[in-house]
Structure 1
Amino acid sequence: MNSQRIREVFPDMVVLKNPKRTEFFSNLSLPSYMRDWLVMKFSDSTGETDIERVSSYIKTYIPNRDDFEQLKFRLINGESVRFLARIRVAVDIRTGKTTFELPDFGGNRSGAGGIVKYSVVDEWQDTLLRENENWGIVELIWNRDYSRKKANGYVSMEDYSPFCPYTVDINVYREGREKFSTEEWIDVLISSADYNPNGYETKRQKLFVLRRLLPFVERRINLIELAPKGTGKSYIYHKISKRGWLISGGTVSRASLIYDNAKKTGGLITRFDFVAFDEIQTMKFDQPGQIQTALKDYMEFGEVKGFDSKTEADAGIIVLGNIDAGRFDTSANMVEEINPIFRESATLDRFHGFIPGWEIPRMHRGLVADGWALNTEYFAEVLHSLRDEMLYAAIVEECLDIPERPDMRDLTAIKRLCTGFVKLLFPQAKSKQDIDPDEFVEYCLEPAMEMRGAIKKQLCIVDPKEFDVPGKRNVPNIRYKY
């Protein structure tokens, strides 16, 4: 990978990554997007970082949950407190006030919430009110509400500045892509996602890693990945973007995942670009029949109707599980040990693609990003922005020669996967002519067909009467339209 060219093409958005510094931040339990932001903030032009200043900043401005009781004590004793936090903001129609809560500190139930000052909302409404969650530096004070007979205390947000210190310009990113060959750009993507492209033995391995990025860049892509332990599947969904959510334990309820009827608030699928279920073999679900029914509707149509609401969202559903070496075969039953919610054929059919994680090497020191690369926070925000770009779906439509009467779920899956690959690998494209046909086939169409084909094989195994019949067992023979 040409680190110097990355610095020349994206001079304001690169950061020097190295394994030792990555380990330092990992020990602090800080995600990659926050690490790169801090590194950029406290690095010189050579990429050298002042670790002492970083440590001081973290201690001062990035408290953990155990610190919040001390922060509350300081607040009620007249101090203002200022720190970096994840924040949710909502306008209360009944009171006319704008409220906030800090979910990482327990939210309103633990006192981590309050009222946002009008001037703060007015200045930052495009940031605070447009999206379900944000990161930023908040300044809080404690007040008393004397409008009631018995005065109550409450927390007020007096100031806010967004965590993302820049505006993402997709056109700059697209223009930058034109300076690299496709193979060079694959390395740019790999390093931006916090891996070292030089640590992989083959291009094929790199391309399997890129499949994990599809939910970051395309709406409502549903994937299953089964892999041995230690291949980094949890990391990529948990650490490189603040816009995804990894569920790694506990019991999942319909209220937390889809819609809380008591609170009248949407669940995780309404707040994030994707929701990933880790260790799916052992995960528990409250009222699994209800969740399965709701997920089938959601994964198909992007909405769930129930109780007194209709929940609409565009988060992808990602299922992650560990698998023994003896099951490294998409022609054998690989899903019999995952949670029954996802194993039933009607639900399984709604997954667009399968990632054989055993094709990706186990994480080792040589696979940790090392050298100049795009700031992970910037990279993740670019991918998020590309989710809204409709042009790429039209390009894919132009490229595909579709046979008569294809299965609609197969066709939808292949189109959606192809669109995600185009956004990742050819963001500069404005028309079909901007992508070399052979590269479209190699990097977009063939992987999409393979990913959906693996799902189809599993369907034939778990429900042979329905799927292992002529005309249904294979994906449509979609080709490039020359």
Structure 2
Amino acid sequence: MLDEKKLREAFPNTTVFKDQNLIATFKSASIPAFLRDWIVKKKAGVDGQIHDMDDLRRYMNAIIPRRDDLLAIQESARNNGASKKFLARIDIRFNVANNTVSFEIPDLGITHSETMVEDYVWERIKNELVQKSGGWGLVQLGYLPPEKPERPRGKLTLLEFKNFCPYTVNLEAYRAARAHFTIEEWFDVLLGAIDYNPEGYQDWVEKHTMLTRLLPFIEPRINLVELAPKGTGKSYLFGRVGKYGWLVSGGTLSRAKMFFDIAKKQPGLVANNEFVALDEIQSIEFPDPGEMQGALKAYMEAGEATFGDKRVVGSAGIILLGNIPQDDMNIEGDMFRTLPEVFRESALLDRFHGFIQGRNIPRMNEKLKINGWALNTEYFSEIMHLMRNQSENVLYRSVVENLVSYPAGADTRDTEAILRICTAYLKLFFPHVIKPEMIDITEFKRYCLRPAVQMRTIIRTQLQIIDSAEYGGKNVAAYTVNEKFEKMNRGEG
């Protein structure tokens, strides 16, 4: 069991008491975990507990409005000159045709057609917005009445926007804190950060598989497939834990929405998010499968794709999530047979780096729900976000490339996949390791290298089943730890 005292001493300002009854209250209000922990931290007593639930509910209603509150917000903006400030996810758009900036707040039903951002406001707040084309933040709205001919219709305006980042996140302090924990303890710290009770898992394999879902949060352009039995928490993790990714659940998905809308001249999901998770993949419909397939192949290979004269560049990983019966989780069988035809082409599947074995993750039950002190989800979300920075990528990738050896004839896509997954694991499990000689080689092999090879091997096996003519007999090469570091680990060098 994780020592909560040790956790709070290592992270004195970024832990929060996670109470299951309280978590259920926030969940019923559809408030994401990263917002929940910030609110709890703000309203809790010194013991971490919320002692006035009525006050909490009033605050929640005031700071995160619902669609039912839209009329009141509009009325306040119209009659008082400004609405109250509230937290919301906002999307910004520059309209090339009329040289204006507009915004939308999807959760409130506010669309681009009814909004604008005045130039003097844009100059003041653009640095908060431009890097992410919007995002979660503290928002205040105003109103501009009709003014013919310049403005034949009234518009809601954006008066204020402040990025939602309530913590000063210091990666060096985070790395230093990690050094105080064993790898077994660190697994439990990470599980608590995403609302899971470590005591509910049977062994480290279940914990490791669950935490593998976090790789797209911490590593740019990592493309994964997870097929798992129902009820294992896929939608919750990818949809509610962080604010930088996007979860698509069923329905129709066009190339324009995913990559670039030529008519509106607007980049799509891959350009504005850190990952795009396609949930219930078997039920998603693609209006033009061939067009989507071509765009995915180009983007997943190089992180960019061209549409007409427009080039879309992104760092988002593509994640396929699907339900599969436990009995069908057979690595040697065709596990991908229920995927949409878009993803049944071997050249596209080859661009997925690894496969998460969802059968190792237990179905959600009461024992798996955290109830105690844990790392704040919002803080951890920001840590993973910063770990995606180019400087961090170079740092950890360099460590991995020094540690891992492979034959000269190894397949390039296999190598890239394994090194990329290893790098993501290193960031997640060993963030304090910034030089290859700092890591225990046995731990690196068990928790990083071997799982990475296994994840890629499953993709390779499925490729052999789907396209035996091209991939038959082509197995993943041997990826091992560099002998130099093996000897150092044995005390021989």
TM-score (norm 2): 0.93
Secondary structure of 2:158 counterpart? strand
In the alignment of these two chains, the number of paired residues is 477
The alignment partner of 2:155 has SS state of: strand
Q: Is 1:64–2:71 an aligned residue pair?
A: no
Larger mean CA deviation between 184-193 and 85-94 belongs to: 85-94
Query: Secondary structure of 1:249's match?
Result: strand
Q: Hey, what does 1:225 align to over in structure 2?
A: 226
Cα deviation for residue 107 of structure 1 reads 4.5
1:448 and 2:452 aligned? yes
Partner of 1:24: 25
Separation (CA, whole Å) in 2 of partners of 1:305 and 1:90: 20
Q: How does 1:58-457 map to 2 (within 5 A)?
A: 58-78=60-80, 80-82=82-84, 83-90=86-93, 98-109=101-112, 111=114, 113-116=115-118, 118=120, 121-122=123-124, 124-144=125-145, 146=147, 148=149, 152-388=153-389, 389=392, 390-457=394-461
SS in 1 for 2:283: coil
**Cα–Cα, structure 1 residues 58 and 336, in superposed 2: closer, same or farther, change >3 Å?**
same
- Inter-partner Cα distance in structure 1 for 2:481 and 2:98: 57
For residues 129 and 442 of structure 1, do their structure 2 counterparts lie closer, same or farther at Cα, with a shift above 3 Å needed? same
Q: 1:465 aligns with which of 439, 463, 469?
A: 469
Structure 1 window deviating more from structure 2 (224-233 vs 51-60): it is 51-60
Q: Hey, what does 2:480 align to over in structure 1?
A: 479
Write the letter of the residue equivalent to 2:92. V
The amino acid of 1:180's aligned partner reads: F
What residue identity is the alignment partner of 1:441? K
Whole-angstrom CA distance in 1 between matches of 2:151 and 2:31: 42
- Whether the aligned pair in 2 keeps the contact of 1:19 and 1:365 (CA below 8 Å) is no
Equivalent position amino acid for 2:435 in 1: S
CA-CA distance at 1:116 after TM superposition: 4.9
Compared CA separation, residues 254 and 183, structure 1 to 2 (3 A): same
Could you say which residue in structure 2 is the equivalent of 1:33? 34
Q: TM-score, normalised by structure 1?
A: 0.95
Deviations 1:422-475 (A, max 9, x none): 000111112101111111101100000010001111011111111112xx1x11
Change (3 A) 1:293 1:149: closer
Deviations 1:88-124 (A, max 9, x none): 235667777654332333453563x3215635742x4
Distance 2:81 2:131 in 1: 30
> Structure 1 residues 151-160 or 385-394, which shifts more?
151-160
**How many angstroms does 1:67 deviate by?**
3.1
Q: Of 44, 54, 57, which aligns to 2:56?
A: 54
RMSD: 1.9
Q: 1:150 to 1:221 in 2, by over 3 A?
A: closer
Counterpart of 2:43 in structure 1 is 42
- C-alpha distance in structure 1 between counterparts of 2:150 and 2:478, whole Å: 73
Alignment partners' CA distance in 2, 1:151 and 1:459: 58
Taking the aligned partners of 1:374 and 1:120, their CA distance within structure 2 comes to 35
**Greater CA drift, 61-70 or 276-285:** 61-70
Moved more, 160-169 or 203-212: 160-169
In 1, distance between residues paired with 2:397 and 2:40?
Answer: 36
Q: CA deviation at 1:159?
A: 2.4
Paired amino acid for 1:434: M
**Mapped contact 2:104–2:112 kept (Cα < 8 A):** no
Q: Deviation per CA, 1:234-286, whole angstroms, max 9, x where unpaired?
A: 11101100111111121001111110111111101111111011111121111
Given the superposition, is the C-alpha separation of residues 150 and 309 from structure 1 closer, same or farther in structure 2, using an over 3 Å criterion?
closer
Once residues 93 and 111 of structure 2 are traced to their aligned partners in structure 1, the CA distance between those partners, rounded to angstroms, is 13
Letter in 1 for 2:297: K
Distance 1:175 1:10 in 2: 10
Report the alpha carbon displacement of residue 382 of structure 1 after superposing the two structures with TM: 0.6
Deviation of the 1:148 alpha carbon: 3.7
Question: What is the deviation of 1:342?
Answer: 1.3
Whether contact under 8 Å (2:128, 2:162) holds in the other structure is no
| Contact kept in structure 2, 1:18 and 1:371, CA below 8 Å | yes
- C-alpha distance in 1 between matches for 2:307 and 2:161: 36
CA–CA distance in structure 1, aligned partners of residues 354 and 151 of structure 2: 58
| C-alpha deviation, 1:73, in angstroms | 3.8
Q: Secondary structure at the match of 1:461?
A: helix
Please give the per-residue CA displacement for 1:64-94, whole angstroms capped at 9, x wherever unaligned.
2343244324433445212211112356677
| Partner amino acid, structure 2, of 1:286 | P
Change in 2 beyond 3 A, CA 1:150/1:48: closer
Q: Point out the more displaced range, 285-294 or 100-109.
A: 100-109
Whether contact under 8 Å (1:175, 1:428) holds in the other structure is yes
Q: Percent identity?
A: 42
Q: Structure 1 residues 117, 105: closer, same or farther in 2, change over 3 A?
A: farther
Superposed displacement of residue 58, structure 1: 1.8
Check the 8 A contact 1:196/1:369 in 2, yes or no: yes
Checking the alignment, whether the CA contact within 8 Å between 1:117 and 1:158 is kept in structure 2 is no
Which deviates more, 153-162 or 405-414?
Answer: 153-162
User: SS where residue 130 of structure 1 aligns?
Assistant: coil
Q: Following TM superposition, by how much is the alpha carbon of 1:57 offset from its aligned partner in structure 2, in angstroms? A: 1.4
Q: How far, CA to CA, are the matches of 1:161 and 1:226 in structure 2? A: 38
Amino acid at match of 2:333: A
Deviation of the 1:144 alpha carbon: 3.1
User: What whole-Å deviation, never above 9, does each CA across 1:335-368 have from its counterpart, x for those lacking one?
Assistant: 0011111121111111100011111100011101
Give the Cα–Cα distance (whole angstroms) in 2 for the partners of residues 171 and 162 of structure 1.
22
In the alignment, the residues of structure 2 paired with residue 91 and residue 306 of structure 1 have an alpha-carbon distance, to the nearest angstrom, of 19
Closer, same or farther: CA 431–63 of 1 in aligned 2, 3 Å? same
Return closer, same or farther for 1:445/1:116 CA change in 2, 3 Å cut-off.
farther
Contact 2:251/2:283 (CA < 8 Å) preserved in 1?
A: no
Question: 1:45, CA displacement in angstroms?
Answer: 1.4
